[in-house]
Amino acid sequence: MKKFVLIILILSTLSFDTQKEDAFNTGEYFKFRIHYGIVNAGYATLEVKDATVNNKKVHHAVGKGYTTGMSKFFFKVEDLYESYFDKETGEPYRFVRKIDEGGYTKNQEGFFNQSENKVLVKDYKRKTEKTIVITDNVQDIVSSFYFLRNHPNIDKLKSGEAITIDMFFDDEITKFKLKYVGRQDITTKFGTVSCMIFKPLVQTGRVFKEKESLTLWITDDANKVPIRIKADLAVGSLKADLDEYKGLQSPLKVKNK
């Protein structure tokens, strides 16, 4: 459950636009309902706000994930992820990661110095801090996907092709790869929606069955809203469906209701 909440927070930002205008703006809000089988396991939300960093107006993305009902008694999750990034370039200035996943906790904050390719990570739980060398154009875990929302080549991908970016997470740089699969119409609570299908590549292990265990559906319209996410786990599967939204740049395109 904890891994999936993290994935929701990551992927709930995935939407792309080939136009010059940004695919998102202040006030955009998504809420996802997470299911484990027939059980409603929890929710994940993501919202874009305004903030000021070094006297400059920036985007402030806030992601939250939490378990509900009986799931909360079996495995409590309360996650908070935040990112402050440039409105024009998408470069991150600061990130926050404060999580509680069944007793496993983290409380970190990172400060990027893009001109020197460094990030200062403060660990408030361990009362430590360290400076880590980063690559050019690196993104944090949340800003990564807002950066991808405005990627100019996403609609030009052919089946099997992918986009790869550098992402800073858990004190190291990782390659995040998103492979395009095809298109499909799916039924949602908002109506029938035409979607683009992607497979974010993940590491295999005790949580995921294989490298392509995740599947993402985003609307094939100007907004490219994440509508559905599915994860095949070592035991069972988890699914998240968009349950609520507001503040989109353009009306959500549906075929029928």
* pLDDT, tens digit (0-9, with 9 covering 90-100), for 106-140: 999 999 998 999 999 999 999 999 999 999 999 99
pLDDT in tens, 149-164: 777 777 788 999 988 8
**Tokens, residue 183:** 């298109």
Span 20-30, pLDDT tens digits: 467 788 999 99
Nearest to 11 by CA among 106, 96, 90, 81: 81
Distance from C-alpha of 116 to C-alpha of 93, rounded to nearest angstrom: 13
pTM attached to this predicted model: 0.85
Q: What is the mean pLDDT of residues 179-186?
A: 94
Residue 19 token pair: 């136009």
Strand partners, 168: 140, 173
With beta carbons less than 8 A apart as the criterion, state whether 91 and 117 touch.
no
Whether the pLDDT of residue 56 is over 90: the answer is yes
Could you tell me how many residues make up the chain? 257
Residue 21 in contact with residue 157, Cβ under 8 Å? no
CA distance 61 to 147: 12
